[in-house]
Structure 1
Amino acid sequence: MTISPDSAHTQFTEQGFVLIKQAVPDAVVKILDDAALQLTDDRAPDLTHSSFNTNRALTHVRNAANIIPEYQLLFGCRDLMSVPYRILNESIQVLGSEMLRRAVYQQAHEPWHRDSGAFLERPYDEVNGPLHLKAQVFFTDTRPKDSGNLVLIPGSHRWSVDHKDDDYWESANDALAQGSVPDGALIIQAEPGDAVIFGNTMWHAVLPNLTQERRSAIVRFGQAWLRPYDHHCDPATAADHLSPENRLLLGYSSNEVNPVDLYKEATATHSWDAQ
Structure 2
Amino acid sequence: MANSSRNRFYLANVAFPLVCAVAVFLMFDISHLDIAFSNLFFDPVAQLFPIGESHTFEQVTHKWTRIIPDWTGELAIIGSLLSFLWPRLKADKHSKLIGLLETTKLAPVLRFSTKYRRDFLFVVFAFAISTGFIHYFKSHTSVYCPVETTLYGGEMEKQEWFETFTPLQRNDGGRCWPAGHASSGFTMLALYFVARRNRWRFAKAVLYFTLLLGFVYGTTRVLQGWHYMSHTFWAALVVWFATLPTALAFYGRAQLEQPPIIPQHAAPKPAGTTADESNQP
TM-score (norm 2): 0.22
| More strand, by proportion | 1
Structure with the bigger RCO (C-alpha within 8 Å, sep 6+) is: 1
